[in-house]
Structure 1
Amino acid sequence: MSRRSEQRREAVFTVYQHDLTGRPLHELFEQGTAMFTRSLAHATTDHQEELDALIGQYAKGWTIERIAPLERSIMRVALLEMLHPDVVPGETPIPPEGAISEAVETAKRFCGSDAPKFVNGILAAVLRDRAASDPPATSA
């Protein structure tokens, strides 16, 4: 597991704690938390309305409130990196497929048995639809 993967997972759990407790993010970070983790968690909560709308749109038959809090947090962080790759200044963005893969691995490790498929389905559908709506690059 790469150091960046661990920092992403730490951001997921911070967003999760924030979601459950309503406590400000700065109170949830442990001393020495990496700037990448802090930036990712803050950006995720800053874009939460947009991210939740997308999750709700693709989670057929599920409201955002019915989705388990940890699964929501996993998808929020992955979607943030997929849709806003420049969110952490000075960092090389993760490819969308990498964000999905890490989200699925986190769901496998920390959520119920149906969670990885659910997380993968929503994130892959967002990626597929975004790719289909982006015009292909043309060379002049």
Structure 2
Amino acid sequence: MKNLKLSLVCAVLLSGMSTYAIDGNEDFNLHVLKSNGSLITFALNKVTKANLAIYDQDGTLIYSENASGKDGILRTFSLEEFPEGTYFLEVEDNVKKVRHEITINNGTSVLSTKAVSSTYKADFSAKDSSVAVR
């Protein structure tokens, strides 16, 4: 009976770890927490300072803020004033810039969980280095 209980506990722990690993992604660990009508809520794990910006499809900046948090950043945006269409949430820290798509249709806002683009910045130590191209 003890072996059965121990097996069940191990199975639950392992399934919990694999669920977390599937939920995480390589881009700032941005997690979409809620999408309720025109509200979107997301969290940036392990990011203490970042610039958040929302652009329209033509690349026009609509909103920008410097966000910070002790253990991460949690934000909720109300997009009720935005017309239907496609927008982009851009998250930038000192290492990289990541863009996620926001789609607004029939009063419902959807933030993509996967990044549509990710750009790493050059390390400061790369300033005086040479790059060979073949």
TM-score by length of 1: 0.24
Question: Which one has the largest radius of gyration?
Answer: 2
- Is the strand fraction higher in 1 or 2? 2
Q: Is the helix fraction higher in 1 or 2?
A: 1
Q: TM-score, normalised by structure 2?
A: 0.25
